[in-house]
Amino acid sequence: MSKVAVVYWSGTGNTEKMANAVLAGIKENGADGELFTASEFNKDMVANYDAIAFGCPSMGAEELEETEFAPMFEDCKSVLNGKKIALFGSWGWGGGAWMETWTADCEAIGANLACDAVTCADAPDDDAIAACKDLGKALV
C-alpha cells in the first residue's frame, strides 16, 4: 500500500480545506494518507512516504508563508530529488505567481511532480475540492 503525506500551512482555513480534500482523494484511492501541519513535518520524515503533497497559500508579495512553511520546505528540498510530490494552495490577491515560482523551484531540485498544481482564489469551491481529490489520486 502506498503511503502519502499531506503537509500544509493555512492562515484562514482555505488551504486546510484543500489539504483535507487531498487526503480524502488519497484514502478514496486505497492509499494510507497522513495529514501534517508544516510545524509537524521535517526532512527526516520524507523517506517514510512514497509521495508528499505540499500545500501553502500565497502570502505577502506572492511568496510561501515565511515563518513555518518556507523554512520547513527549504529544509526538505535537499531530500526531494526524485520524490513524487504535488503542490496546492489558495490565494486572495495576485495572479498565482507564487505557485509558478514554487513549481519551477521543485522542478529545479529534481522533484517528480505527479500532476499540475491546484490553486484556488479564497475558499475552495466544489471544483477546487474535486481537483484536490484528483491531486491526491495522482499521488497514489
Which position has the grid cell 493555512?
A: 10
| CATH number of the domain residue 126 falls in | 3.40.50.360
Cα 23 to Cα 14, 93, 100: the distances in Å are 14, 26, 23
pLDDT tens per residue across all 140 residues of the chain: 799 999 999 999 999 999 999 999 999 999 999 999 999 999 999 999 999 999 999 987 788 989 999 999 999 999 999 999 999 999 887 777 889 999 999 999 999 999 999 999 999 999 999 999 999 999 99
**pLDDT for 93:** 76
Amino acid at 109: I
Q: Which domain holds residue 117?
A: 3-139
Q: What residues are paired with 55 via a beta bridge?
A: 8, 88
- Phi, psi for residue 136 in degrees, rounded to 5: -60, -45
- Rounded to the nearest 5 degrees, what angle is found at the Cα of 121, between the Cα atoms of 17 and 5? 35
> How many domains are there within the chain?
1
Record the pTM.
0.96
**pLDDT for 90:** 93
Three cell numbers at 39? 510545524
Report the candidate in 7, 10, 76 with the shortest Cα–Cα distance to residue 38.
7
